[in-house]
Amino acid sequence: MRKEKIVIHIEHLDQTIIEEESRLKVLEKVLEEEEKDYLKFDKTGVRNLFLKALGTHHDQLDKEKQEYLLAYIKYNECVSTIERLYQEKEILMKTLFGLFDAQARLDQLLLQKRSSFSAKPDSKMIEVFKLEKQLAEKWARTREIEEAISAGEATKPLLLKIIEDLKHIKDWGIMSYAGKGRYSSYKKKKYIDQATKEVFEVNVLFEKFELELQDIAQHFKLNYKKDIAIFKQFVDMFLKNLVNDWVTKKKIQDAITGVSKTQEQVLRTIATLKKEISKTNQAIEKDQLLIKECLVQIAQNKNS
């Protein structure tokens, strides 16, 4: 199952790389349409970036500037994502080649073991073999779902941290930029920069969560398309809400609400996965009982 899973991961990575490279071309066109020196990221942080791009209250209403700001941030994030995807694919390819060698050795051993059986197994033993195969598939299903749950759980602390950081920003926008002194302004900038950095970090974890969900959906015919779609939109949703909060001066409420809704979706998805494990465990217990009954009958037949 591990080999099949890696193959599926590589297929998903290839598709994601195609999508991200296509998105990068679109973002490049958006940026090229603007003046080259219109906006320069000077490492002063997200708040200053918003101030430069959106400027005064009147300028904030300029939709083109908002779109350009979003495209600029997304462009940089997209470049980093593509680099990371290629690195991940390279690692998986090396792992896969090693597994193919191991599988070939295992197949040879199984062939030798089968050839050592001189007697034909009876019907009950054949039934045991079939049940054991089903059991192995169910155990594999449980492991796969547990890995998906683990990937989802990994996003929870960071999502909570993002919300906590955003709550420190009690005002957001050009009119409230100065704050109550230089230290107050510094703290606001620190928290928004920190939260934005964490958004991109948790997005990497969401990508892993999405892959795990795609794996179990493909292997076990489970439907998680809606969940995956929500997680894929996380960064775009956050950035759009951040711009909207800046323009409307909603005390960064839209951004907080958006992250909270994503957090709730993670909890719902994990709960659904746990239900799948519970159902699979019940099926495992049933198969184990059937195997035990078959072995008892085989033993009784030998003694009779």
- Rounded to 10 deg, the angle between the 2-33 and 182-220 helix axes is 130
The terminus-to-terminus CA distance of the chain in angstroms comes to 40
Distances (CA, A) of 216 to 82, 141, 231: 24, 8, 16
Distances (CA, A) of 183 to 10, 160, 168, 192, 251: 48, 25, 14, 14, 19
The pLDDT score that the predictor gives to residue 149 is 95
Task: Read off the pLDDT of each residue in 256-274 and give the average, rounded to a whole number.
Answer: 94
The pLDDT score that the predictor gives to residue 129 is 80
User: Which position has the higher pLDDT, 251 or 292?
Assistant: 292
**Residue 138 belongs to what H/E stretch?**
helix 123-167
Using a pLDDT cut of 90, give the percent of the chain over it: 19
Strands (E) located in the chain = none
pLDDT tens sequence across 7-18: 777 888 888 889
The overall longest dimension of the chain from CA atoms, in Å, is 95
And the tokens for 223? 């439907």
pLDDT tens sequence across 96-148: 766 555 555 555 555 554 555 445 556 777 887 888 888 888 888 898 899 99
Which residues are CB-contacts of 141 (< 8 A; sequence separation ≥ 6)?
Answer: 216, 219, 220, 280
pLDDT tens sequence across 292-301: 888 888 777 7
Distance CA 143, CA 2 (A): 10
Q: What are phi and psi of 168, to 5 degrees?
A: -75, -15
Say if CB 27 and CB 68 are below 8 A apart. Answer: no
The pLDDT score that the predictor gives to residue 206 is 93
The pLDDT score that the predictor gives to residue 177 is 44
Neighbours of 16 (CB within 10 A): 19
Task: Read off the pLDDT of each residue in 273-287 and give the average, rounded to a whole number.
Answer: 93
Which residues are CB-contacts of 45 (< 8 A; sequence separation ≥ 6)?
Answer: 189, 192, 193
User: Which position has the higher pLDDT, 109 or 149?
Assistant: 149
Distance CA 281, CA 275 (A): 10
Weakest-pLDDT range from 80-94, 140-154, 164-178, 266-280: 164-178
Distance CA 107, CA 214 (A): 28
Q: What are phi and psi of 44, to 5 degrees?
A: -90, -5
Distance CA 126, CA 123 (A): 5
